[in-house]
Amino acid sequence: MNLYEKTAYDAAMALEKKEVTSVELVESVLGRISEVEKNVKGFIHLIERETILEEAREIDRLRAKGQRSSILAGVPMALKDNMCTMGIPTTCASRILEDYRPPYNAHVTEKLQQAGTVLIGKANMDEFAMGSSTENSAFYPTHNPWDTNRVPGGSSGGSAALVAADEVFFSLGSDTGGSVRQPASLCGVVGLKPTYGLVSRYGLIAFASSLDQIGPLTKDVRDCAMVLEIIAGNDSRDSTSVPREKESYSSYLGRDIKGFKVAMPKEYFQEGIEEAVRESVMNAVVLCIKLGVEVEEVSMPHTSYALPCYYLVGTAEASSNLARYDGVQYGFRAPDQDNLIELYLKTRSQGFGSEVKRRIMLGTYALSSGYYDAYYLNSLKARTLIRQDFENVFQNYDLIITPTSPSPAFVRGERLDDPLTMYLSDIYTTTANLAGVPAISIPCGLADGLPVGLQIIGRPFDEGRMLQFCFALEKMLGFKGLKPKISADGVLKDVS
């Protein structure tokens, strides 16, 4: 087995037992990257080899002296390119931030640095995290390692593809309407959106502030628990960060899940779901029952209103968040302007891509005079109803099980000219963001050789038991250990 194929946990254990060094882990993933990255295109920016190795050497030196800052010290990882890294390009996959080097680190960057993990590079994404396929990157689309003609999902498509292709041991993504879970599902990895308020967004470039959360993308459930432990916790620099005692998520793993009550909302198995996805998730439901879990069908009647609600709330917040890109203080400034208004107009028109402009406009429209009540205010009321659906179900059930995405990875270009069809990729994931509850996607099978993900949604701050449940289910599902074709024969299909 090549080192790069290990899970983060196994890599950490090998470090702990002094079987490998961090330098060797770095060399292994860099070798892997030089083999497959040209076909995956998961990175926007790779950090210089010598810089990475120097960091790894330092961590090895410390470890040799018996000092390690966390169990994951020395393990290579990637960050989505909307998380600020001091002095290292942070582009949001946008021309408007193409040359931006943040003067500070995001909270999660700091946490991972303090934990001694080794940053390999910044992962590709849809511009400003707006998209479901990573085709909206201003630079290039990322390819799905399971089939390079297909999308990896989005917006954290780079983060998911890098983990699936074994180019890093884990990564972070951000999830506003499914942007961690949907690419995790399409790439066959684990992706968690924590409870709103669990992970600080300080230094995460904002998209829709009442929905955004940062979460891990990992090779399995145990890795997810370990990474969450590092990044969760209160931070005074994000006023939505909730003061709570730190939890040991790993300590939940391995506990029995017999007697768990799980709800299966029928609305998630209706609209637009592909048969192979339904079958795969239903298989998992049968396994749950075998494990002694009580599964019952329920109704969450406002589910089909989540997506329209999301596209109003999300775009309204985005239109205001993205007003800061004016070409004045940082980022791109269009040349040749005679006055301030022209500077704004030209900078924004040349700097933003098509989807970002579309969403800024939709949000501006929803907030504009005469439409505010009909659109924005109504969407907030609908949001109340969607949250109530969750509160009602959680009175009687511990968890909710649904598919993550209505279809497996789709072919690149297929949905690009049709924004509404693209938006429908998020039909099962936006609900958790609107309600602020945690949700995780784990791979549950293959459909025509492409991964299918199932979603487990929990009560606020119940990540521990969600992970406990997923850990037990993962063992039964038999997906773990399945790798995309690239690792079987070492080469990807030709990319035309």
Partner 1 sequence: MNVSKKEVEHVAALARLALSEEEKILYTDQFNVILEYIHRLNELNLENIDPMTHVQQLRNVLRKDIAKGSEKELVVRILEESPGKEKEKGFFSVPPVIEGFEMEE
Contacts of 74 (CB under 8 A, 6+ apart): 12, 15, 21, 22, 25, 56, 59, 60, 63, 68, 116, 117, 118
Compute the least distance from the CB of residue 305 to partner 1, in Å. 6
**With respect to partner 1, which residue has the nearer C-beta, 249 or 375?**
375
Compute the least distance from the CB of residue 206 to partner 1, in Å. 15
Of 1, 18, 290, 339, which lies in the binding site for partner 1, with binding defined by CB under 8 A?
A: 339
**With respect to partner 1, which residue has the nearer C-beta, 260 or 390?**
390
Compute the least distance from the CB of residue 81 to partner 1, in Å. 16
207: DSSP letter: S
Of 45, 68, 143, 302, which lies in the binding site for partner 1, with binding defined by CB under 8 A?
A: 302
Compute the least distance from the CB of residue 284 to partner 1, in Å. 28
Restricting to residues 341-400, name those near partner 1 by CB under 8 A.
341-346, 348-349, 352, 354, 357-358, 360-362, 364-365, 368, 375, 377-385, 387
Compute the least distance from the CB of residue 489 to partner 1, in Å. 42
The catalytic residue positions are: 80, 155, 179
The DSSP code sequence of 137-200 is -SS----BTTBTTB---SSSHHHHHHHHTTSSSEEEEEESSSTTHHHHHHHT-EEEEPPTTSS-
Q: For residues 80 and 173, what is the distance between their CA atoms, to the nearest angstrom?
A: 5
**With respect to partner 1, which residue has the nearer C-beta, 34 or 368?**
368
75: DSSP letter: -
- Candidates 173-181, 244-252, 331-339, 404-412: pick the segment binding partner 1 (CB under 8 A): 331-339
**One-letter identity of residue 18:** K
Of 46, 308, 480, 482, which lies in the binding site for partner 1, with binding defined by CB under 8 A?
A: 308
Residues in the chain: 496
Residue 402-421 contact track with partner 1, rule CB under 8 A, x = bound: -----------------xx-
| Residue indicated by tokens 């099980």 | 401
**With respect to partner 1, which residue has the nearer C-beta, 278 or 333?**
333
Q: For residues 324 and 296, what is the distance between their CA atoms, to the nearest angstrom?
A: 47
Contacts of 353 (CB under 8 A, 6+ apart): 94, 95, 127, 136, 138
- Candidates 42-50, 100-108, 146-154, 389-397: pick the segment binding partner 1 (CB under 8 A): 100-108
**With respect to partner 1, which residue has the nearer C-beta, 97 or 224?**
97
Q: Which of 424, 477, 484 is nearest to 450 (CA)?
A: 484
Restricting to residues 187-206, name those near partner 1 by CB under 8 A.
196-197
Compute the least distance from the CB of residue 172 to partner 1, in Å. 21
Residue 127-166 contact track with partner 1, rule CB under 8 A, x = bound: ----------------------------------------
Of 72, 309, 456, 470, which lies in the binding site for partner 1, with binding defined by CB under 8 A?
A: 309
**With respect to partner 1, which residue has the nearer C-beta, 251 or 354?**
354
Per-residue H/E/C for 429-460? CHHHHHHCCCEEEEEEEEECCEEEEEEEEECC
Q: What three-state secondary structure class fits 53? A: helix
Q: Which of 125, 166, 154 is nearest to 43 (CA)?
A: 125
Compute the least distance from the CB of residue 204 to partner 1, in Å. 16
Q: For residues 190 and 138, what is the distance between their CA atoms, to the nearest angstrom?
A: 26
Q: For residues 111 and 99, what is the distance between their CA atoms, to the nearest angstrom?
A: 25
Q: Verify binding: residue 461, partner 1, rule CB under 8 A.
A: no
**With respect to partner 1, which residue has the nearer C-beta, 21 or 90?**
90
Q: Which of 448, 449, 454 is nearest to 482 (CA)?
A: 449
Q: For residues 366 and 349, what is the distance between their CA atoms, to the nearest angstrom?
A: 20
Q: For residues 161 and 158, what is the distance between their CA atoms, to the nearest angstrom?
A: 5
Q: Verify binding: residue 49, partner 1, rule CB under 8 A.
A: no
Q: Verify binding: residue 459, partner 1, rule CB under 8 A.
A: no
Site residues for partner 1 per CB under 8 A: 100-103, 196-197, 210, 236, 239-240, 242, 302, 304-305, 307-309, 311-312, 319, 323, 326-333, 337-346, 348-349, 352, 354, 357-358, 360-362, 364-365, 368, 375, 377-385, 387, 419-420, 423, 435-436
